[in-house]
Structure 1
């Protein structure tokens, strides 16, 4: 049973990282106001939200299965307080930190109507910290970190996010309000 939990935990961690990567990319695209394959902006926002929720579900499975795996040696405190883990405390701590950041992002997204857009946006910027911390966790703590397929996967995710972030920070990036104004004139 331990091997099955370990394999499921490992696989769901990789899928979660892939989905969080897609979510970051969709979030940046949505912020630009540009359509995705002729989908209007509200549809891109909906896909972004659903991918993020799916990533969160895979992350929950990742955590639960590894909690049941004796090799991972996880305790309940390891899910909340970073850097206390028995095995690889630094790398596990990065994972815990990423989960804490992700929880803050998800909670504020779910409470967006209550807390207001300003607080939501301020907390949502934590995504730019959460994603690389999660990537570092997978590189340092992942069983497959030295495998060629995982190196290619991590490199592809990194190149995609860094490219999108470079575009987001460039002069060519137009915030959605400017796109609407440009279309109206």
Structure 2
């Protein structure tokens, strides 16, 4: 009955879902930064938020699926303990531990966003700002243990995504956001 699992192209799927999860995390972070910038029409801002949320949630689920496939992989299987407890993997414990922490970070960010109205605003904001280190940990994890990292297009992909987030953060710092917009127009 489980024989078909042994013929499943798990290693290819692990790589695919890892890269796709990272891309969705990049999309969620990038759109989250864009969403916080001033000047959007309400309808556009609403669309940005919906895509930001969908990308972030999709990235989390794809990342969890990426990790779950590691359990059934026949080439380099991981135990549930290695996946659930950071830095316990027998292969590259530091880099794989960053992957585990990334998954927990994504879950915490999404759960606290769902509970945003019930949380203290400062607590929600502090957790939500963890999106940036979570993104960087995902990048380091992918670059460090991703078996495709030596391929030119993958390196360009990582460089592009990191550069794009950095540029968006710089632009966000210079443009300000709700606070600066309200302050400059005299509204509070």
The alignment's C-alpha RMSD in Å is 2.1
Contact 1:33–1:41 (CA under 8 A) maintained in structure 2: no
Matched, 1:175 2:177: yes
Going from structure 1 to structure 2, the CA distance change for 1:181 and 1:42 (only over 3 Å counts) comes to farther
* TM-score (norm: length of structure 2): 0.87
Query: How far does residue 154 in structure 1 lie from its aligned partner after superposition?
Result: 0.6
> 1:99-132: CA deviations, max 9, x gaps?
1211211221121122243221110011111001
The CA distance in 1 between the partners of 2:47 and 2:180, in whole Å, is 19
Residue 50 of structure 1 is matched in structure 2 by 54
Give the counterpart of 1:35 among 26, 35, 40. Answer: 40
The CA distance in 2 between the partners of 1:33 and 1:62, in whole Å, is 36
Unaligned runs of 5+ in 2: 1-5
Aligned length: 182
Unaligned runs of 5+ in 1: none
* TM-score (norm: length of structure 1): 0.88
Contact 2:26–2:161 (CA under 8 A) maintained in structure 1: yes
Runs of 4+ in 1 over 6 A off after TM superposition: none
Query: How far does residue 181 in structure 1 lie from its aligned partner after superposition?
Result: 6.2
Residue 167 of structure 2 is matched in structure 1 by 163
The CA distance in 1 between the partners of 2:186 and 2:96, in whole Å, is 50
Contact 1:20–1:131 (CA under 8 A) maintained in structure 2: yes
The CA distance in 2 between the partners of 1:70 and 1:90, in whole Å, is 22
